């Protein structure tokens, strides 16, 4: 298995930093998260240049959330030995109305990887 | 679902949504933003203005487009090029975009440019808006 780049942040911190930096933190978060999710999936699933615009542009945001829910979160659950659940629709709906909540869910799932180590 | 088809759909929607708004609800350009971040805080997010920028571009108003967001024009070009290249990839089974799409330095460069632009925009926004006018752009007033 590929080593996973360390990017452990409390989900609430993602929310708070997203707000107080007026979205600047989300740009950094998207780039780092694309790197982590590609490592988890063991292939290039999410393009970093595209990830930059997730959170800026709704169709790109929905695309990012779809790939995360469909291709990456099941891989995290498989690594953790948990039953695989499809959270794609949840992430896409939350990503449309409350993108910061979708980011918190993804960060929470990724954090489980580091908690297990 | 085929990843390329999905990417074509996302790029197509990015181009189509502003066109539909321009055709059926042009008043959106001058109405309250529906960005969740702006509604909650009154401050723009890094993407605020991109839809309006593309709508202005479709009207042929380049200066207006750049005024709303400098990434409107590059995004339209990227989407058009992306759709064509992905369609060619699907037809020829060759990877044309992989080197660009998964270029880490390009991602960091685009992120840095967007962050810098947004930082300048925020300074300008704070300098040109009063607390009352910022609150008026949120759901709190």
Identify the closest residue of chain B to A63 by CA–CA distance: B10
Is A5 inside any structural domain? no
Is A15 inside any structural domain? yes
The domain tally of chain A equals 1
Q: Does A93 touch chain B (CB under 8 A)?
A: no
Is A2 inside any structural domain? no
Identify the closest residue of chain A to B50 by CA–CA distance: A57
- The rounded distance, in Å, linking the Cα atoms of A77 and A85 is 8
The domain tally of chain B equals 1
Owning domain of residue B27:
3-136
Is A3 inside any structural domain? no
Q: Say yes or no for a CB contact (<8 Å) between B118 and A24.
A: yes
- The rounded distance, in Å, linking the Cα atoms of A103 and A32 is 12
Q: Does A77 touch chain B (CB under 8 A)?
A: no
Per-residue DSSP letter, B140: T
Q: Say yes or no for a CB contact (<8 Å) between B37 and A35.
A: no
Is A76 inside any structural domain? yes
Is A1 inside any structural domain? no
Is A87 inside any structural domain? yes
Whether complex ipTM tops 0.90: no
Write out pLDDT tens, residues A32-90: 999 999 999 998 899 888 888 887 778 888 889 999 999 999 999 999 998 888 899 99
Q: Which of B3, B37, B110 sits opposite A49 (nearest CB)?
A: B110
Is B44 inside any structural domain? yes
Backbone angles phi, psi at A31, to 5 degrees: -65, -45
Alpha helices in chain B (DSSP H): 3-24, 36-41, 50-58, 62-68, 72-92, 98-101, 104-128, 131-136
Q: Which of B7, B46, B104 sits opposite A24 (nearest CB)?
A: B46
Q: Say yes or no for a CB contact (<8 Å) between A57 and B47.
A: yes
Write out pLDDT tens, residues A45-59: 998 888 888 877 788
b/e sequence B102-132, b meaning 16+ C-beta within 10 Å: beeebbeebbeebbeebeebbeebeeeeeee
pTM: 0.89
User: Residue A1 — pLDDT band, cuts 50, 70, 90?
Assistant: low
Q: What share of chain A is helix, strand, coil (3-state, %, to 5)?
A: 75, 0, 25
Reading the block at residue B51, the tokens are 């839809």
Owning domain of residue A69:
11-116
């Amino acid at each position: 298995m590929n080593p996973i780049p360390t990017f452990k942040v409390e989900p609430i911190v993602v929310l708070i930093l997203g707000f107080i930096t007026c979205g600047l933190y989300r740009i950094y978060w998207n780039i780092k998260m694309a790197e982590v999710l590609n490592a988890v999936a063991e292939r290039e699933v999410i393009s970093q240049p595209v990830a930059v615009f997730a959170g800026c542009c709704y169709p790109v945001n929905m695309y990012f959330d779809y790939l995360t829910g469909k291709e990456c979160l099941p891989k995290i659950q498989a690594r953790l030995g948990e039953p695989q659940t499809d959270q794609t629709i949840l992430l896409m709906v939350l990503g449309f109305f409350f993108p910061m909540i979708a980011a918190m869910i993804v960060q929470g799932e990724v954090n489980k990887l580091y908690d297990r180590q | 679902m085929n990843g390329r088809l999905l990417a074509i759909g996302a790029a197509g929607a990015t181009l189509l949504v502003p066109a539909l708004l321009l055709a059926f609800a042009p008043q959106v350009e001058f109405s309250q933003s529906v960005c969740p971040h702006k509604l909650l805080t009154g401050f723009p997010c890094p993407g605020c203005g991109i839809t309006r920028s593309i709508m202005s571009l479709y009207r042929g108003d380049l200066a207006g487009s750049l005024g709303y967001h400098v990434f409107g024009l590059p995004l339209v070009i990227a989407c058009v090029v992306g759709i064509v290249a992905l369609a060619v990839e699907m037809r020829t089974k060759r990877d044309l975009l992989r080197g660009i799409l998964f270029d880490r330095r390009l991602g960091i460069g685009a992120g840095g440019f967007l962050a810098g632009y947004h930082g300048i925009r925020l300074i300008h926004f704070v300098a040109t808006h009063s607390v009352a006018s910022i609150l008026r752009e949120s759901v709190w007033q």
